[in-house]
Amino acid sequence: MVLVFGGAYNGKLDFVKEKFNVNEDDIFYCGVNEIDFSKKVICGLHKFTYNNILKDISSLQYIKENINLFKDKIIISDEISSGIVPLKKEERMWREETGRCLQYLSKEASCVYRIFCGIPTIIKD
C-alpha cells in the first residue's frame, strides 16, 4: 500500500498519475461510505471519513475490517489536521477520525509520501 497525503490542491493526484503510471480508469473518487476496491487508486479518503462522520460510522473500523483490500492500493487524502481547530463539533470529529485513519494506514503502508506545492517528500519507504 502507498499513502499519499498533503494539502488541498497541492498536486497529489498529478503526482500519483505520473509516478505510478495511473490513468482515470484506475481511480475511485471517494464520496460515499463504501469504497470501490476494484480500482488501483482510492482518491479523497478525507471525503470518505467526512461522510462517515455525518452518518455516525467509524471509518477507522471500516478500514481495519477491510485492510487486506487496501494492501495493493494507492490511497490519496487531503491533510486536514493543520490550522485552526474547527468550531463545529462534526468538523472536529472529522479531523480527529481522519487523523486516526491516516496514522493507521501509514503504519500499514509500505511507502508514504507527503506532497507540498507539487513536491513529494518521502516519509516512509
Residue type, 81: S
How far is 41 from 18, CA to CA, in rounded Å? Answer: 13
All residues at 6 or more sequence positions from 59 whose CB lies less than 8 Å from its CB, including other chains: 48, 49, 52, 53, 97, 98, 101
Phi, psi for residue 64 in degrees, rounded to 5 = -60, -40
Model confidence, pTM: 0.94
pLDDT by residue (tens digit) across 33-74? 689 999 999 999 999 999 999 999 999 999 999 999 999 999
| C-alpha cell belonging to residue 11 | 498536486
Opening angle at CA 56, ends 98 and 30, nearest 5: 50
Residue 7 pLDDT:
94
Q: What are the sequence ranges of the domains in the chain?
A: 7-124
Is pLDDT of 32 > 80? no
Would you state the CATH architecture of domain 7-124? Answer: 3-Layer(aba) Sandwich (3.40)
Residue 86 pLDDT:
84
